[in-house]
Chains A and B, each alone.
Chain A
Amino acid sequence: MTSQPYQPHGKNTECDNVELYAAGALDAAERAAFEEHLEQCAECGAELQELRKLMNLLPLAVDPVEPPEGMKKRVLGAVLGRSGAQEPGLGRQVDAARAEVDSPDEEASGRRRTEAGSASKRSADAGSAAWTSNAGSGRRTAAAGGRRPRLVALLAGAAAVMLLVCGTLAQRMDSLSKRNELLSGELEAAKQNLVQAQSELQEVMKPSADAAVSQIISLKPVKNMVAKGQAYIVVDAKGTHLIVQASKLPALKDSQAFQVWLIKGDKPVNAGTFKPVNGSGAITFTFQPDSFDQVAITLEPDAFGTAPRGTMVMAGGLKA
């Protein structure tokens, strides 16, 4: 092909038909006319070579389809079997077979029943028969039978299709039931998780039975403050709880809030924020048993800090 892929030469109106000819879009008369032209027009001849190469690529692009089970045996068996017989037209075979199947007369339908009964056996015979050329003479007789083997072939084909369909369905069923099992398993696991979560929740919701105060800390205000406060460390079956209560707290402005901290060394842990009512407020905080040095309350610009930003209001030391 040249670097200019295609320029219509178009000296003759027939030249316009070269693509349609190559693609097979012309009818018999148009084809004949073009072929006549082709003998005179070297350019169309060259063009056609290229176009045919192009058309010959199209079969490559077809999505692959799995041939029916056992097709090789049937095809080669039939081809090598009837190699000596006269070549029948394909359409005629199909038509004849269909005509026979469609035939309403009694004799034909009787024969059909008989054939249908032995079809599976015969197709099995055909399948197992050697299809080497040695088997040719034997197979020729079957081919000479004419319409009957066609019908048998059709029935065998239908049976093969059914088998294929059944096989596919069975596979699909199998994969669906496997999927089902898997999903059931997942559902069961999810149910168990839910049950466990519910029992944990119930445990949490249950009132404490044997809570014991392990520490009571008096919170001391920083200078210039009159606030009073106390902190309790309470231990029960559910964990360790900090309860902080304070009063006579200064009034808050805007979005300000008080924040409680548990402090170990110089690392504060947020124990929650609160806004007092009439200068009094309280908070509880449950934490993993750990040793903290101090509990402190700060005045923060808002309730959402994770580290102290404001000023200390009061604090108290914890026992180790």
Chain B
Amino acid sequence: MSETAWEEQLLQRIAAKDSDALEQLYDRYERPVYSFVYRIVGDVMAAEEIVQELFFKVWNHADSFDMNQRTGKVSTWIFTLARNLSIDWIRKRDRRPAASGSEEDWQGVKDPETTEQAAMDRLMAEHVKEALAELNEEQKRVLEWVYYGGYTQQEISELHHIPLGTVKSRVRLALRQLRKSLGEVWREGVRS
């Protein structure tokens, strides 16, 4: 069974309130999700609370993950939830208005050819790190603010006194650069 299929089966069991399945999913994601959340919030206690909140949502909303439509990977769902909860937390801490990012962001991500295994993820992680390292400083900074800081383009423009158009183009260029760097890997790796 592929990793994806295994995880989807776990989600089905979780939807049927199988706590062993939740534990298995937890074991699979504890470390990457905690690392990711901690990367955003930078706070050990908050990171644990968010992981708890995340698994609470998984436990109670596993049935909303519609695998028949193949709307997305389990990992995509989990990391999207993790990012949204983390960004909400830091925005609240910083007294910034709620991002109101929808938890449904992950839906509609049609990814029908994802059969890669965890090993592929690890390989991909290295490629992503390399691709991120290749960004120039301005692109790295703007991606940091947007992705890990949960700042909108408008906020970045105001906080850092950068014209809005410049913020826009830096985000755009950063993503294009990443796509370009990862283009080959993508075709060869994920789309197996």
- For B132, what are the chain A residues with a Cβ–Cβ distance below 8 Å? 58, 61
Q: How far is the CA of A51 from the CA of B182 in the complex (A)?
A: 12
- For A25, what are the chain B residues with a Cβ–Cβ distance below 8 Å? 146, 151-153, 156, 167, 171
**CB-based contact A16/B49 at 8 Å:** no
Instruction: Check B161 for interface membership: any CB of A closer than 8 A.
Output: no
**CB-based contact B152/A26 at 8 Å:** yes
**Given known contacts A20-B171, A25-B151, A161-B45, A65 and B59 CB-to-CB distance under 8 angstroms:** no
Q: B145 to nearest A CB, angstroms?
A: 8
Q: How far is the CA of A66 from the CA of B187 in the complex (A)?
A: 32
**Given known contacts A25-B151, A67-B30, A133-B17, A83 and B110 CB-to-CB distance under 8 angstroms:** no
Q: How far is the CA of A76 from the CA of B14 in the complex (A)?
A: 13
Q: How far is the CA of A170 from the CA of B80 in the complex (A)?
A: 37
**CB-based contact A1/B183 at 8 Å:** yes
**CB-based contact A24/B101 at 8 Å:** yes
Interface size on B, residues (CB 8 A): 76
The contact of A49 among B45, B109, B147, by CB within 8 Å, is B109
- For A249, what are the chain B residues with a Cβ–Cβ distance below 8 Å? none
User: Please, which residue of chain B has its CB at the minimum distance from the CB of A135?
Assistant: B19
Q: How far is the CA of A186 from the CA of B109 in the complex (A)?
A: 62
**CB-based contact B129/A76 at 8 Å:** no
- For A161, what are the chain B residues with a Cβ–Cβ distance below 8 Å? 44-45
Instruction: Check B134 for interface membership: any CB of A closer than 8 A.
Output: no
- For B32, what are the chain A residues with a Cβ–Cβ distance below 8 Å? 59-60, 62, 64
CB 8 Å contact bits of B25-54 with A (1 = contact, 0 = none): 011001110111011000011101111110
CB 8 Å contact bits of A124-158 with B (1 = contact, 0 = none): 00000001110000000000000000000110011
What secondary structure prevails in chain A residues at the interface with B?
A: helix
Q: A172 to nearest B CB, angstroms?
A: 18
Q: A20 to nearest B CB, angstroms?
A: 5
Q: B56 to nearest A CB, angstroms?
A: 5
Instruction: Check B178 for interface membership: any CB of A closer than 8 A.
Output: yes
CB 8 Å contact bits of B104-144 with A (1 = contact, 0 = none): 00000111000000000110110011001000000000010
The contact of B179 among A30, A54, A60, A90, by CB within 8 Å, is A54
Instruction: Check B23 for interface membership: any CB of A closer than 8 A.
Output: yes
**Given known contacts A20-B168, A75-B48, A79-B22, A6 and B34 CB-to-CB distance under 8 angstroms:** no
**CB-based contact B186/A51 at 8 Å:** no
**Given known contacts A5-B176, A23-B143, A90-B49, A80 and B109 CB-to-CB distance under 8 angstroms:** no
Q: How far is the CA of A65 from the CA of B44 in the complex (A)?
A: 10
- For B45, what are the chain A residues with a Cβ–Cβ distance below 8 Å? 154, 157-158, 161
Q: How far is the CA of A76 from the CA of B56 in the complex (A)?
A: 9
- For B110, what are the chain A residues with a Cβ–Cβ distance below 8 Å? 49
The contact of B79 among A56, A80, A153, A157, by CB within 8 Å, is A56
- Of the stretches A91-99, A213-221, A293-301, A312-320, the one at the interface is A91-99
- For A55, what are the chain B residues with a Cβ–Cβ distance below 8 Å? 147
Q: How far is the CA of A79 from the CA of B54 in the complex (A)?
A: 9
Instruction: Check A19 for interface membership: any CB of B closer than 8 A.
Output: yes
The contact of B180 among A6, A74, A76, A158, by CB within 8 Å, is A6
- For B34, what are the chain A residues with a Cβ–Cβ distance below 8 Å? 65, 67, 71
**CB-based contact A79/B190 at 8 Å:** no
**CB-based contact A67/B59 at 8 Å:** no
- For B17, what are the chain A residues with a Cβ–Cβ distance below 8 Å? 83, 133
**CB-based contact A19/B175 at 8 Å:** yes
18 A-B contact pairs sorted by A residue (CB < 8 Å): A1-B179, A1-B186, A6-B180, A20-B172, A52-B76, A53-B186, A54-B178, A56-B76, A57-B128, A58-B128, A59-B83, A60-B32, A62-B39, A63-B39, A90-B50, A91-B89, A95-B92, A157-B48
Q: Which residues of B pack against A, CB within 8 Å?
A: 17, 19, 22-23, 26-27, 30-32, 34-36, 38-39, 44-46, 48-53, 55-57, 59-60, 73, 75-76, 79-80, 82-83, 85, 87-89, 92, 99-101, 109-111, 121-122, 124-125, 128-129, 132, 143, 146-147, 150-154, 156, 167-168, 171-172, 175-176, 178-180, 182-183, 186-187, 190
Beyond the given A60-B122, A76-B55, please list 18 additional residue pairs across the A-B interface where CB-CB is below 8 A: A23-B171, A25-B152, A25-B171, A49-B110, A51-B175, A51-B179, A54-B179, A63-B35, A63-B39, A75-B52, A78-B52, A79-B55, A90-B49, A93-B49, A94-B49, A157-B44, A157-B48, A158-B45
